[in-house]
């Protein structure tokens, strides 16, 4: 029972810390989903180090000294508790984010995460030593089951009720309990005589090297599963819909395949999965290039998640069929973790550098199809050529996908924050020539380039929008000879805000992604056409504003939510309080809250009540006879009713919703504002 409790608690903590620490540092890097992908890279790398230690230390230290050394390491880990990210490592603005994130994670959870990552293989080796003849691999299934419980528990039972700091303290207490369990178990192992048969098996395993092809196959099967996990997560959240916490579903299915295949009850059979593998890989390829269902969340999520499950069942099932004797157990897990880290490295680091768009999904499917050729051949010889044809089809899919991504594109650019595409429609000389900036499935702005329209604000910034009404309300009937107003904007897009700036106005924009500024200046003329200089500050808006003196903006607009994905640190009580210090006495703080999946006005209503602010909601529906116009929802906040009086009947009172929570930097819960029907 001691073995099972230690393994289960270790795995639970290992996966619970992942969303916990990611949520702590997410606001410091603009709330981008790429933060999670980078965190996954760290987790896989730390897991690899833990497995390498588990493989090497028993041989280097011997069966008695190794447990003692492990106890010392466990006690040292207690010195870094609690796991709270140090504010001294907050980015100041323009740093390269991946290195800073990895450094933050290493300092905050590096040692505890390393210790936890050693537990599953090391405890299984202890188990095999104390209980020869019993199957230790079922402990791996238990480990993954506990990981799955942690993953599901966080968004359902932990995040909705417990603040981030309390989560960190609670996790740290449980980690101390784990250290106690581990230390007592390791001490027990160090005091137990190892049976001669086990020592002989260890000696023989050292003397007989593993087959190189077998080891590379372990790495390949593990890498494909890891790569497809992250690629599918990216595809769904970036190209279909940035639904909050959507990454949980793929990761849950990924863990489930480990649980089923390593359970030892024969859940995986080649003959059962050959057909589904062909069907699901072909289905995922079809959806990559089909435009009919491009933004259909249900179809895309269903096919890609079921496909991920089937491919991972094959990959992990084949790992189980090829698993070695218990004497080679730690080496097996080491190479499996090498594959996992390699897959994460390819998606997190290599893909953004090598591919201008999200091509890693097709690459992962191609690698899966190649590895499947010998598997299909083993199931039935005639399936070999069908498997080869499938691999060739995936290559064609990837090539066609790249072509589609570049259709109508003036430029496709990719960096840490995602893929940005500049799309052009109609002929260059046409009055209807339209240029758009698109981020995944999200429109970041557009401009009609003809002289007739190019200076007109479009999409969510037309005069009838909440932003347009806020600016015009601040200007009132003042003549041009009067001093101009100060406009601040969080989120640049294509620079549409510049269409509102007169020569007497002051305009400043805060943008976290320097690539957005480059594309806005290169392909759009709003910034160049502005009669006043538009200052652009690169870096996280909230951190930038915290370093500035009060700006006294007449209108400060927040539109940095990347469509349906929101950086929550911009919509908390502390954020609003900070922003209001930069808003003039009778000024307006404007939030763009158009969202297909989240209902954000109740969040702002609670914050407004807490900060003694008044607010209105401006719903601006689409207009079929106005090509410049897109539907939008804005929430306008001010210190007094007079500041919003000019909005008139266009705005409805911002109403509080019974039971709505107050979002703070320490506590915020996306699940509470999800539109379950939309």
Considering the domain architecture, whether residues 279 and 184 belong to the same structural domain is answered as: no
Q: Dihedral, CA atoms, 9, 13, 16, 21, nearest 10 degrees?
A: 170
Angle at 341 between CA 339 and CA 345, to 5 degrees: 115
Is residue 206 one of the residues assigned to a domain?
Answer: no
Domain containing residue 603: CATH number = 3.40.50.150
pLDDT of residue 193: 67
Q: Examine the fold and report which residue of 149, 172, 196 is the final residue of a domain before the chain moves on.
A: 196
Give residue-wise pLDDT tens across range 544-554.
898 888 888 99
Considering the domain architecture, whether residues 92 and 241 belong to the same structural domain is answered as: no
Is residue 415 one of the residues assigned to a domain?
Answer: no
The residue assigned the tokens 């405890």 is 123
In whole angstroms, how far apart are CA 632 and each of 162, 459, 515, 578, 582?
Answer: 33, 8, 25, 25, 25
Burial 440-462 (b: 16+ CB within 10 A, else e): bbbbbbbbbbeeebbeebbbbbb
- Residue 608 vs residue 401, higher pLDDT: 608
SS3 content of the chain, % helix, strand, coil (to 5): 60, 10, 30
Domain containing residue 64: CATH number = 1.20.1250
Q: Answer yes or no: are the C-beta atoms of 620 and 590 closer than 8 Å.
A: no
Q: What are the φ and ψ backbone dihedral angles of 629, each rounded to 5 degrees?
A: -105, 140
Considering the domain architecture, whether residues 185 and 79 belong to the same structural domain is answered as: yes
Whether the predicted pLDDT of 676 surpasses 60? no
Give residue-wise pLDDT tens across range 584-615.
999 999 999 988 777 889 999 999 999 999 99
Considering the domain architecture, whether residues 363 and 467 belong to the same structural domain is answered as: no
Assign 208 a pLDDT band (cuts: 50, 70, 90). low
pLDDT of residue 391: 92
User: In whole angstroms, what is the distance from residue 222 CA to residue 367 CA?
Assistant: 11
Is residue 428 one of the residues assigned to a domain?
Answer: no
Structural domains in the chain (count): 3
- The conformational region for residue 436 under phi > 0 = left, psi -120 to 50 = alpha, else beta, is beta
Q: Examine the fold and report which residue of 180, 196, 212 is the final residue of a domain before the chain moves on.
A: 196
pLDDT of residue 442: 77
Considering the domain architecture, whether residues 171 and 284 belong to the same structural domain is answered as: no
Which residues, other chains included, contact 611 with Cβ-Cβ below 8 Å and sequence gap of 6+? 573, 576, 577, 580
- Residue 645 vs residue 565, higher pLDDT: 645
Give residue-wise pLDDT tens across range 613-640.
999 999 988 776 666 778 899 999 999 9
Q: Which two tokens stand for residue 561?
A: 């939510």
User: In whole angstroms, what is the distance from residue 559 CA to residue 563 CA?
Assistant: 9
Determine what percent of the chain is predicted with pLDDT higher than 90: 44
Q: Answer yes or no: are the C-beta atoms of 554 and 485 closer than 8 Å.
A: yes
Burial 309-344 (b: 16+ CB within 10 A, else e): bbbbbbbbbbbbeebeebbbbbbbbbbbbbbbbbbb
Q: Answer yes or no: are the C-beta atoms of 650 and 604 closer than 8 Å.
A: no
Tell me the pairing of strands 434-439 and 614-620. Answer: unpaired
Which residues, other chains included, contact 300 with Cβ-Cβ below 8 Å and sequence gap of 6+? 235, 236, 240, 287, 293, 294
- The conformational region for residue 563 under phi > 0 = left, psi -120 to 50 = alpha, else beta, is left
Q: Answer yes or no: are the C-beta atoms of 259 and 143 closer than 8 Å.
A: no
Is residue 375 one of the residues assigned to a domain?
Answer: yes
Select from 549, 582, 552 the least CA-distant residue to 484. Answer: 552
User: Hey, which bits of 500-567 come out as E strands?
Assistant: 506-511, 534-538, 553-558
Assign 189 a pLDDT band (cuts: 50, 70, 90). confident
Whether the predicted pLDDT of 398 surpasses 70? yes
User: In whole angstroms, what is the distance from residue 142 CA to residue 10 CA?
Assistant: 11
pTM: 0.83
Whether the predicted pLDDT of 200 surpasses 70? no
Considering the domain architecture, whether residues 188 and 270 belong to the same structural domain is answered as: no
Whether the predicted pLDDT of 316 surpasses 60? yes
Q: Which two tokens stand for residue 363?
A: 């690459």
List, edge to edge, every strand of the sheet that includes 486-490: 534-538, 506-511, 486-490, 553-558, 583-592, 632-638, 614-620, 651-653
Considering the domain architecture, whether residues 466 and 378 belong to the same structural domain is answered as: no
HSE-CB for 34 with a 13 A CA cutoff: 25
User: In whole angstroms, what is the distance from residue 122 CA to residue 229 CA?
Assistant: 26
Q: Which two tokens stand for residue 190?
A: 């160090």
In whole angstroms, how far apart are CA 442 and each of 50, 85, 340, 540?
Answer: 39, 31, 31, 20
Is residue 326 one of the residues assigned to a domain?
Answer: no
pLDDT of residue 242: 52
Whether the predicted pLDDT of 337 surpasses 70? yes
Considering the domain architecture, whether residues 651 and 547 belong to the same structural domain is answered as: yes
Considering the domain architecture, whether residues 57 and 148 belong to the same structural domain is answered as: yes
Is residue 442 one of the residues assigned to a domain?
Answer: no
pLDDT, mean over the chain: 86
Assign 244 a pLDDT band (cuts: 50, 70, 90). very low
Assign 561 a pLDDT band (cuts: 50, 70, 90). low
Burial 639-663 (b: 16+ CB within 10 A, else e): beeebbebbeebbeebeeeeebbeb
Considering the domain architecture, whether residues 46 and 192 belong to the same structural domain is answered as: yes
Is residue 446 one of the residues assigned to a domain?
Answer: no
Report how far Cα 302 is from the mean position of its chain's Cα atoms: 19
Considering the domain architecture, whether residues 37 and 161 belong to the same structural domain is answered as: yes
| Alpha helices for 490-624 (secondary structure H) | 514-523, 526-529, 541-546, 573-580, 601-610
Report how far Cα 387 is from the mean position of its chain's Cα atoms: 33
What average pLDDT does the segment 214-221 reach?
93
pLDDT of residue 471: 95
pLDDT of residue 152: 84
- Residue 13 vs residue 649, higher pLDDT: 13
* Weakest mean pLDDT among 164-178, 528-542, 561-575: 561-575
User: In whole angstroms, what is the distance from residue 210 CA to residue 204 CA?
Assistant: 11
Give residue-wise pLDDT tens across range 116-171.
999 888 888 888 777 776 767 677 778 888 888 988 888 788 888 888 899 999 99
Q: Examine the fold and report which residue of 405, 422, 440 is the final residue of a domain before the chain moves on.
A: 405
Q: Answer yes or no: are the C-beta atoms of 622 and 584 closer than 8 Å.
A: no
Give the domain range for residue 26: 1-196
Long-range contacts of 297-306 (CB under 8 A, 24+ apart): 297/240, 297/241, 297/243, 300/235, 300/236, 300/240, 301/236, 301/240, 301/246, 301/249, 304/232, 304/235, 304/236, 304/250, 305/232, 305/236, 305/249, 305/250, 305/253, 306/280
pLDDT of residue 171: 96
pLDDT of residue 563: 47
Q: Answer yes or no: are the C-beta atoms of 457 and 463 closer than 8 Å.
A: yes
Determine what percent of the chain is predicted with pLDDT higher than 70: 91
Considering the domain architecture, whether residues 358 and 478 belong to the same structural domain is answered as: no
HSE-CB for 112 with a 13 A CA cutoff: 30
The residue assigned the tokens 């079929």 is 624
Is residue 224 one of the residues assigned to a domain?
Answer: no
């Amino acid at each position: 029972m001691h073995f099972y409790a230690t393994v289960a608690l270790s795995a639970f903590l290992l996966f619970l810390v992942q969303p916990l620490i990611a949520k702590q540092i997410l606001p410091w890097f603009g709330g981008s989903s790429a933060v999670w992908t980078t965190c996954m890279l760290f987790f896989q790398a730390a897991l690899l180090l833990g497995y390498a230690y588990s493989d090497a230390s028993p041989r280097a230290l011997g069966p008695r000294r190794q447990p003692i050394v492990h106890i010392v390491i466990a006690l040292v880990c207690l010195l870094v508790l609690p796991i709270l990210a140090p504010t001294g490592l907050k980015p100041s603005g323009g740093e390269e984010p991946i290195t800073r994130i990895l450094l933050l994670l290493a300092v905050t959870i590096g040692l505890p995460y390393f210790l936890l990552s050693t537990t599953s293989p090391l405890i299984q080796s202890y188990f095999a030593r104390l209980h020869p003849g019993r199957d230790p691999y079922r402990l791996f299934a238990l480990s993954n089951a506990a990981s799955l419980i942690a993953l599901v528990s966080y968004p359902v039972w932990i995040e909705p009720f417990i603040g981030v700091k309390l989560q960190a303290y609670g996790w740290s207490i449980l980690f101390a309990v784990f250290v106690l369990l581990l230390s007592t178990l390791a001490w027990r192992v160090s005091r137990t005589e190892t049976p001669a048969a086990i020592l002989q098996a260890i000696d023989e395993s050292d003397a007989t090297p593993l087959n190189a092809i077998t080891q590379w196959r372990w790495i390949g099967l593990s890498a494909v599963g890891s790569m497809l996990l992250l690629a599918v997560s990216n595809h769904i959240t970036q190209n279909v819909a940035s639904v909050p916490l959507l990454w949980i579903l793929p990761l849950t299915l990924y863990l489930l395949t480990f649980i089923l295949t390593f359970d030892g009850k024969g859940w995986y059979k080649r003959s059962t999965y050959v057909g589904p593998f062909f069907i699901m890989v072909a289905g995922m390829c079809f959806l990559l290039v089909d435009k009919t269902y491009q933004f259909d969340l249900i179809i895309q999520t269903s096919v890609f998640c079921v496909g991920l499950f089937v491919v991972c069942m094959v990959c992990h099932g084949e790992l189980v069929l090829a698993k070695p004797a218990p004497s080679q157990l730690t080496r097996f897990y080491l190479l499996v973790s090498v594959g996992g880290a390699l897959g994460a490295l390819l998606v997190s680091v290599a893909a953004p550098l090598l591919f201008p768009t999200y091509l890693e999904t097709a690459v992962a499917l191609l690698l899966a199809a190649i590895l499947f050729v010998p598997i299909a051949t083993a199931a039935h010889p005639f399936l070999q050529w069908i498997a080869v044809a499938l691999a060739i089809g995936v290559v064609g899919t990837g090539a066609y996908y790249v072509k589609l991504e570049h259709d109508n594109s003036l430029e496709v650019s990719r960096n840490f924050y995602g893929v940005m595409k500049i799309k052009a429609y109609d002929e260059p000389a046409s009055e209807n020539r339209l240029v758009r900036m698109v981020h995944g499935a999200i429109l970041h702005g557009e401009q009609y380039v003809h002289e007739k329209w190019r200076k007109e604000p479009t999409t969510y910034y037309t005069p009838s929008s909440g932003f347009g009404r806020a600016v015009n309300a601040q200007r009132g009937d003042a003549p041009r000879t009067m001093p101009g107003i100060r406009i601040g904007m969080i989120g640049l897009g294509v620079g549409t805000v510049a269409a509102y700036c007169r020569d007497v106005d002051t305009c400043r924009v805060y943008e976290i992604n320097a690539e957005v500024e480059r594309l806005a200046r290169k392909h759009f003329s709003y910034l160049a056409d502005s009669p006043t200089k538009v200052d652009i500050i690169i870096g996280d808006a909230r951190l930038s504003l915290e370093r500035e003196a009060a700006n006294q903006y007449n209108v400060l607009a927040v539109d940095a939510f990347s469509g349906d994905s929101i950086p929550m640190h911009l919509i908390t009580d502390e954020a609003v309080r900070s922003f209001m210090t930069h808003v003039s006495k009778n000024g307006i703080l404007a939030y763009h809250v158009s969202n297909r999946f989240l209902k954000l006005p109740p969040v702002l209503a609670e914050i407004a009540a807490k900060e003694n602010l008044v607010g209105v909601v401006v719903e601006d529906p689409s207009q079929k006879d106005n090509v410049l116009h897109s539907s939008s929802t804005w929430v306008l906040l001010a210190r007094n009713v007079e500041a919003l009086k000019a909005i008139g009947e266009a705005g409805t009172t911002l109403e509080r919703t019974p039971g709505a929570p107050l979002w703070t930097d320490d506590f915020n819960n996306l699940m509470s504002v999800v539109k379950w029907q939309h």
